[in-house]
Amino acid sequence: MCGIIGYSGHRPAVPVCMEGLRRLEYRGYDSAGVAFPNRGGLTVIKEPGKLGMLEQALEKAGNVLGATSALAHTRWATHGVPNQVNAHPHTDASGKLAMVHNGIIENFAELKQELAHKGVTFQTETDTEVLVKLVGEYRKECATMREALSRALTRAEGAYAVVLVSADHPGRLWAARKQSPLVLGVGVGENFLASDVPAFLPYTREVVFIDDGEMVIIDADRWQILDVATLAPKEKEVKTITWDVQSAQKGGYKHFMLKEIFEQPKVIRDCLAGRIGQRTQSVKLPELEGLPLPGRLVIVACGTSYYAGLWGKYVIEKLARVPVDVAIASEFRYADPILSEGEQVLVVSQSGETADTLAGLRLAKEQGIPVIGLCNVVGSSVARESDHVLYTQAGPEISVASTKAMCSQMVMLLLLALSYAARKGVLDEEESGALVRGLQEMPGLLEESLPAMRESAKALARMYAEADSFLYLGRGACYPLALEGALKLKEISYIHAEGYAAGEMKHGPIALIDPRFPTFAIALADDLFGKVRSNLIEVKARGGKIIALTNPGVELEIDHPWFLPKVAGPLGAFTVLPAVQLFAYEIADYLGKDVDQPRNLAKSVTVE
Ligand code: M6R
């Protein structure tokens, strides 16, 4: 979703902000803009399209290097089409205040009407223009900007992270947050505000995570945090980010997505680090200390994280016999879910900022249900609001299409299953030890197999890139991977793909099968292999072409068997996952699509 960067300090502010926007590009956007104080007024430059357009406009404008404070924004359109007028920053009636905003002001229509009655006119269709104009109106009545901002925000319903600059106070920025991410970067003689840490990581690793209901005011050499409603000062801890700038760069790969797929061996190692007892090979999850075994675990998530949750259900129920339900967060939050004492909610989110997932988390907490957050981004809202946090340690995931995050979520879910199983005493030590060893060996196995997997993916991609539609089939624990394979393909190549439980195919989708409608199957040599093979024979009989991920030594008469190394039980998922990711990647790259920033998508979906 929208990306925000604000800067005050000793460097030329506009280039710092532009560089920050580049590092936030992965969030997804359709227009961009920048504002900075300039000779007693404000300069606002904005353009539809990619950042290159804004850069050209800045070059044309010239004279942008003098500003030492600025704010900038990449917009992912919600209210109003993505054009120059609706791009941020927006200004108040005086033209002396400019605002950037991530979120949705739900009561913007009422506020707009109220302002219109006072004679305020509007140039855009956005909710943000309404908010900045409301601040501008209050500014006439209030002694300070902070009061004006506080009054306006107290009236705003919905979600926001906002940053404001004023021509009357060059060098100062005001910001606030409610349900949209905002982080303060603390530098030496400079301070930063951003939607996400990578925006300012080359300059500082010292950060303060802003919470809902907080306002932050920065100058070059000081920062201050206040309560939005009361304006009372607040003490906040400065935290140090441990990952480095390189982790958020492409490192020689053509795309972030490819780099992140190839990082999965490291991700598995990092997830396991410190979690396996050296002698006993027992799983250690100290984060869950004091938490009893759940009577039922309800997993709540969106998108790829939801599919990881579905996979988690298979392994937790199979290995630990703990009942698990999995809910799509946007459904769960409005379903009036029945949650009972003794149950627990596990929210799964890479970003930790997904609006629907957070709503699910809050709903569970309101009902007194303990919440475990399984998330990647340290200090994110999920991490801060959950009762217990399991970090996935995947490092920054920049590509909009999630890849290594799912791998890390699956590792953690398998560890959770093994730890529940050990506590219940339902899994014999030999089986549990074999799975732990298998997990420990997985990084090496993947490092060996990934280059060949990529070659297979590339060859198949060339053969199938012209298809209009794909059916992805899997059964049991491979069914969620079929869903994920279909999601990856459609989101980056824009080829329609549907994931289906293989056994369900004959209840409808089989009608679609013909020689132009290929099937991508997951047919590992496991307990369900015979069943999947029968399903594929049915596809074949109708002239359907088939690619199948399988293991050496099986008998499968299909067009393109794609052999993966054979590993035990649920571990097969860790070989299937990169294969479906690479297939989608190679098709999208072959078709010349914008792999890392697919159209219409945002990395972190911070609005409903
Ligand atoms: O940050 P989260 O894990 O909460 O994000 C959930 C989904 O928005 C995300 O997985 C989305 O589906 C990705 N585009 C998948 O590649």
End-to-end CA distance of the chain: 11
**Torsions phi, psi for 270 (to 5 deg):** -65, -35
Inside any domain, residue 462: yes
Inside any domain, residue 210: yes
Least confident stretch, 25-39, 322-336, 363-377, 575-589: 25-39
Inside any domain, residue 596: no
The CATH number of residue 93's host domain is 3.60.20.10
Gap between the Cα atoms of 294 and 37, Å rounded = 55
Gap between the Cα atoms of 450 and 442, Å rounded = 12
- Beta-bridged to residue 391, according to DSSP, are 375
The catalytic residue among 2, 271, 375, 478 is: 2
Based on the fold, state whether residues 243 and 290 are members of the same structural domain: no
Gap between the Cα atoms of 141 and 412, Å rounded = 54
The count of residues in the chain is 608
For this structure, is 603 an active site residue? yes
In angstroms, what CA-CA distances link 392 with 55, 287, 347? 36, 12, 13
> pTM surpassing 0.85?
no
- Beta-bridged to residue 183, according to DSSP, are 194, 209
Gap between the Cα atoms of 374 and 412, Å rounded = 8
Based on the fold, state whether residues 475 and 360 are members of the same structural domain: no
The CATH number of residue 369's host domain is 3.40.50.10490
Listed residues 220, 249, 278: the one ending a domain: 249
For residue 147 the two structure tokens come to 């009061």
Share above pLDDT 90 across residues of the chain, in percent, rounded to a whole number = 81
Q: How many CB atoms lie within 10 A of CB 264?
A: 25
Please compute the mean of the pLDDT values over residues 306-325 and round it to a whole number: 98
With H, G, I as helix, E, B as strand and everything else as coil, classify residue 215. strand
- Kindly report the protein residue whose alpha carbon is nearest to atom 16 of ligand 1: 401
Listed residues 445, 470, 497: the one ending a domain: 445
Based on the fold, state whether residues 426 and 284 are members of the same structural domain: yes
Share above pLDDT 70 across residues of the chain, in percent, rounded to a whole number = 99
Based on the fold, state whether residues 291 and 241 are members of the same structural domain: no
Decide whether any atom of ligand 1 lies within 6 Å of the 604 Cβ: yes
Residue type for 234, please? K
With H, G, I as helix, E, B as strand and everything else as coil, classify residue 204. coil
Long-range contacts of 514-518 (CB under 8 A, 24+ apart): 514/542, 514/543, 514/544, 515/543, 515/544, 515/545, 516/467, 516/468, 517/467, 517/469, 517/470, 517/471, 517/544, 518/464, 518/467, 518/470, 518/471, 518/544, 518/545, 518/546, 518/547
Decide whether any atom of ligand 1 lies within 6 Å of the 392 Cβ: no
Interval between CA 583 and ligand 1 midpoint (Å):
19
Please compute the mean of the pLDDT values over residues 120-134 and round it to a whole number: 94
> Hey, which of 354, 391, 410 would you mutate to test ligand 1's pocket, going by the most ligand atoms within 8 Å of its Cβ?
354
> How many structural domains does the chain have?
3
- Kindly report the protein residue whose alpha carbon is nearest to atom 7 of ligand 1: 303
Based on the fold, state whether residues 85 and 223 are members of the same structural domain: yes
Gap between the Cα atoms of 314 and 324, Å rounded = 8
Decide whether any atom of ligand 1 lies within 6 Å of the 303 Cβ: yes
- Kindly report the protein residue whose alpha carbon is nearest to atom 11 of ligand 1: 303
pLDDT, position 71: 97
> Hey, which of 304, 311, 382 would you mutate to test ligand 1's pocket, going by the most ligand atoms within 8 Å of its Cβ?
304
Which residue, among 33, 36, 4, has the nearest Cα to 20 in the 3D structure?
Answer: 4
> Hey, which of 256, 605, 606 would you mutate to test ligand 1's pocket, going by the most ligand atoms within 8 Å of its Cβ?
605
Based on the fold, state whether residues 18 and 148 are members of the same structural domain: yes
Decide whether any atom of ligand 1 lies within 6 Å of the 605 Cβ: yes
Interval between CA 491 and ligand 1 midpoint (Å):
11
Based on the fold, state whether residues 238 and 330 are members of the same structural domain: no
pLDDT, position 518: 96
How do residues 231-255 score in pLDDT, each as one tens digit? 999 999 999 987 766 666 787 899 9
Inside any domain, residue 600: no
Decide whether any atom of ligand 1 lies within 6 Å of the 350 Cβ: yes
Inside any domain, residue 605: no
Mean pLDDT over all residues of the chain? 93
- Beta-bridged to residue 511, according to DSSP, are none
Inside any domain, residue 304: yes
Closest atom of ligand 1 to 603 CA is 14
pLDDT, position 39: 87
Please compute the mean of the pLDDT values over residues 337-364 and round it to a whole number: 96
Gap between the Cα atoms of 118 and 512, Å rounded = 59
How do residues 479-503 score in pLDDT, each as one tens digit? 999 999 999 999 999 999 999 999 9
Interval between CA 148 and ligand 1 midpoint (Å):
36
pLDDT, position 314: 97
Based on the fold, state whether residues 158 and 180 are members of the same structural domain: yes
pLDDT, position 416: 98
Given a contact cutoff of 8 angstroms between Cβ atoms, the answer to whether 226 and 234 are in contact is: yes
More confident residue, 380 or 204: 204
Interval between CA 193 and ligand 1 midpoint (Å):
24
Interval between CA 381 and ligand 1 midpoint (Å):
15
Based on the fold, state whether residues 506 and 414 are members of the same structural domain: no
How do residues 393-424 score in pLDDT, each as one tens digit? 898 898 999 999 999 999 999 999 999 999 99
Interval between CA 230 and ligand 1 midpoint (Å):
35
pLDDT, position 401: 96
Based on the fold, state whether residues 276 and 347 are members of the same structural domain: yes
Write out the residue range of the structural domain in which residue 545 sits.
Answer: 450-590
Listed residues 230, 249, 268: the one ending a domain: 249
Based on the fold, state whether residues 415 and 501 are members of the same structural domain: no
Interval between CA 69 and ligand 1 midpoint (Å):
33
Gap between the Cα atoms of 546 and 559, Å rounded = 5
> Hey, which of 261, 332, 351 would you mutate to test ligand 1's pocket, going by the most ligand atoms within 8 Å of its Cβ?
351
For this structure, is 540 an active site residue? no
Gap between the Cα atoms of 549 and 570, Å rounded = 15
Based on the fold, state whether residues 412 and 552 are members of the same structural domain: no
- Rounded CA Rg of the chain: 25
Least confident stretch, 9-13, 271-275, 279-283, 531-535: 279-283
Which residue, among 492, 181, 487, 485, has the nearest Cα to 351 in the 3D structure?
Answer: 181
